Structure formats: structure tokens, C-alpha cells
Amino acid sequence: MTQKTPLYDIHVQYGGKIIEFGGWMLPVQYSGIIAEHRAVREKAGLFDVSHMGEVKVNGPDALAYLQKAVTNDVARLADYQVQYTPMCYPDGGTVDDLLIYRCGAQEYLLVINAANIAKDYDWLKRNTAGFNVTVDNVSSQTAQLALQGPLAQTILSQITQAPLDKIGYYWFMRSVQVAGRQVMLSRTGYTGEDGFEIYCRNEDAAPLWEAIMTAGKNQGLLPAGLGCRDTLRLEACLPLYGHELSPQISPLEAGLGYFVKLDKGDFNGREVLLRQKEQGLTRKLAGFVLTDRGVARSEYPVIAAGRQAGQVTSGSYSPTLDKNLGLALVETEFAGQGQKLEIEIRGKNAAAEVIARPFYKRKG
């Protein structure tokens, strides 16, 4: 069954090319992936990310419960701070990657991937034993817009009194007015640019979209679809669940060791992850550039030393760098910078080379 976000009619009205994504009808593009990608890098783009899931975790044991559930150290969060974290199974495989918003000592909001909502909610509920917490799936009551790009603050400042310049990267305001609507506003995103994510009631999503588009009219703001969301996050080397992360891929293998705090105490997957770290990883995520012509796509075999040594997890043309780039999970010995690889594209091998990640980093 496919679902529509509260902005579906707006996407059609704005000329969005609608596709099904994780059970949702969403625009892959409006004016074109490359044009939208460039707008986000140079000016601003507006995304509908209402398909993302939201789960509330409340109660006296909320912190202890989350510490057990995820790999990052949730105790480091202050009120109104946001944290990125993987969430693992006991075997070290990844349930999902998510954002944790700390609203108060006993009150957290988890933002999870759309395709994983049912799975995550079920997993989170099953792990409440022994903790005095309530876990509520509020996904269907929550819409979300992402305004991303260097002009995001300039645009948003036209329709809110909120002190945007005081919201640091990965911090949020729990309740502010934007265009006369009550929203939660965070300085977060999935594009490698500055920007904001705006959480609101479903009925406020369309008026907010229109107000932001109007405010951005003279700033080069474009409505942006899933297509450029993927090319933007790939350039920034932000993982995509189901590609760089999965039940078969641990956060350490995906290069997310910074978000795995093995010294914080026990948590799901800790033993396996600790062992992976102590014994060394057998495979690792590597970023590569194709030096031959062609585009590497997800699941294409990676060849090194004359045999298959891994596979591509994500690959695309990079509009900012004008190169064909990708991420691949490969045997550790082939993951070092400068390593020559080959990517098998439709039966033919194309030369590639491991390069530093991220491929793109914004200035400042």
C-alpha cells in the first residue's frame, strides 16, 4: 500500500515527477536533479521529508533505555540538542540510523527512516523490558520539511521571529512560530549544507511549504526531490540505510566509528562491535572515483587482485564535482586511499581509485 504525504497535491502542482519510495508517493525531481542539486549547494532547496518516522520516548528511564538501544552516548546530549546515532542488533548489524532530539531529561524524540518505521517501532517496543518508559510512534501525526542550502537562514528569517543565528548545528528549538504555525525547528539536514528541518502538524505542512517558497522566490530557492537528495548525501558521504548500513553491515564497517561509543557502558551490539574493533575489520567502506567512463551503481561487483573483493553500496554522477563517484564495501586491504580498483559494469571492468571521504565538504 502506498501512502501520500500531506504535500502530495503540492508536488503535483509544482510539476514533481512522482515515484514510489519506501511505500510513499514522492517526487524524484521537479526541474531536474542536477538543477535542484546545484540550487541546494549554491542557494537553497526545499524538500518534503514527511515520510520520515518519529517516535517519542518518555519516562524516568528514557535515558538509560536509549543508552541500551543505540550506539552513541545519549548522556552527552543537553536539552534541545540533536545527536546522530546508529541502532544495532545484538549481533552488531544495524537496525537503523537515526536522530535523537533531547526535549528534556525524560523526554526524547527519535527520527527514523521511512522504510524502517514498523521495524524500528517493533524493535524499540521489544527492548523496553525493565525500563520505565513509554514508546509512541507519532509518525502519522508529524510532517517534516527540510530547507537546505547556504541561503536557508536568509530565507527562513523572512517568515519567523525565531533567533535562527543562535541555533547551532545539531541544536533545535522545540516550539517556534514559522509563518504563523507552531513548529519544531532544528539546524540539521542530509545534504552536506547548512539548513533547517521543520517538524509540524500535517495540516500546517502545505501552508508552510507555500510560505517558504514565497520567501525564497527571489533567492533562487527550488523545490527539491528525492533524486538530488541522494546525489547530495552521496557527495557528503552520509550513509543511506539499506545501502551503506543494513542488518548485515555494522556501523564500524560503514565508517561510523565516531558514533559508536564503546566506553559508555553496555548497549545492543557492543560485544560484537568491540570484538570487530579489537580484531580489526575484515571489510570497510571506501569512497572511490571512476577513472574510466561509466556510472557505478549499487550492488555492482568491486574487483581487486583479480577477484571480487566487495560491492558498490551507492554510486552516481556527482553534479558538484563532475565525476562519477561511489561508496563500496570492500575487504579492508583494498580500502586504503590510492588503492586501484575495478568496478564491473554490465560485464566490463572500469577502473576506479579509492579517494578521501567525504567527496564534498562545505566551506566554513
Partner 1 sequence: MNFPKELKYSKEHEWIKVEGKRATIGITDFAQSQLGDVVFVELPNTGRTVKAGETFSVVESVKAVSDIYAPVSGTVVAVNEKLNDTPEAVNLSPYEDAWIAVIEMSDPGELEGLLDSGAYEQFTAEGGH
User: Residue 27 or residue 255: which is nearer to partner 1 going by CB?
Assistant: 27
Among 113, 139, 142, 316, binds partner 1 (CB under 8 A): 316
Note the maximum CA span of the chain: 62
Q: Which is nearer to partner 1, 32 or 207 (CB)?
A: 32
Q: Give 297 or 357: the residue with its C-beta nearer to partner 1.
A: 297
User: Binding partner 1 by CB under 8 A: which of 18, 34, 281, 351?
Assistant: 34
Q: Does 33 bind partner 1 (CB under 8 A)?
A: yes
Q: Which amino acid is at 345?
A: I
- The least CB distance from residue 358 to partner 1, in Å, is 19
- DSSP label at 313? E
C-beta closer to partner 1: residue 21 or 170? 21
CB 87 within 8 A of CB 94: yes
- DSSP E strands: which ranges in the chain? 3-4, 17-21, 24-29, 44-48, 53-58, 82-88, 94-104, 107-112, 134-137, 142-148, 172-178, 181-186, 195-201, 221-223, 283-290, 301-304, 307-318, 323-331, 340-345, 348-355
Residue in 23, 317, 355, 357 binding partner 1, rule: CB under 8 A: 317
Q: Which residue has the cell 527512516?
A: 113
Q: Which is nearer to partner 1, 277 or 297 (CB)?
A: 297
Q: How far apart are the first and last CA of the chain?
A: 44
Enumerate residues 273-312 that contact partner 1 by CB under 8 A.
Answer: 293-295, 297
25 binds partner 1 (CB under 8 A): no
Q: Nearest distance from residue 243's CB to partner 1, in Å?
A: 14
CB of 321 to partner 1, least distance (A): 12
Identify the three-state secondary structure at position 219: helix
| Beta carbon nearer to partner 1, 17 or 201 | 17
Please say whether the beta carbons of 230 and 184 come within 8 A: no
Nearer to partner 1, 276 or 324 (CB): 324
What x-and-dash track marks residues 183-222 binding partner 1 by CB under 8 A? ----------------------------------------
Please give the Cα distance from 58 to 56 (Å, whole number). 6
Does the annotation list 193 as a binding residue? no
Cell of 253: 564497517
Residue 331 binding partner 1, by CB under 8 A? no
Smallest separation (angstroms) from partner 1 to the CB of 295: 5
- For 275: left if phi > 0, alpha if psi spans -120 to 50, otherwise beta; the answer is alpha
Asked whether the beta carbons of 54 and 142 are under 8 A apart, the reply is yes
φ, ψ dihedrals at 74, nearest 5°: -65, -25
Binding of partner 1 at residue 22 (CB under 8 A)? Answer: no
* Rounded CA separation 174/243 (Å): 32
Segment near partner 1 (CB under 8 A), from 27-35, 138-146, 250-258, 275-283?
A: 27-35
Q: Which of residues 113-172 bind partner 1 (CB under 8 A)?
A: none
C-beta of 18 vs 272, nearer to partner 1: 18
Inter-CA distances, 88 with 5, 247, 264, Å: 29, 8, 15
Binding flag, residue 320, partner 1 (CB under 8 A): no
**CA–CA separation, 49 vs 113, rounded Å?**
10
* Closest CB 32 distance from partner 1, rounded Å: 6
Which grid coordinates are listed for 158? 523572512
Shortest Å distance, C-beta 144 to partner 1: 22
By CB under 8 A, is residue 227 in contact with partner 1? yes
By CB under 8 A, residue 324 contacts partner 1? yes
Q: Residues interacting with partner 1, by CB under 8 A?
A: 17, 28-29, 32-34, 227, 230-231, 293-295, 297, 316-317, 319, 324, 346
Annotated binding site for substrate: 197
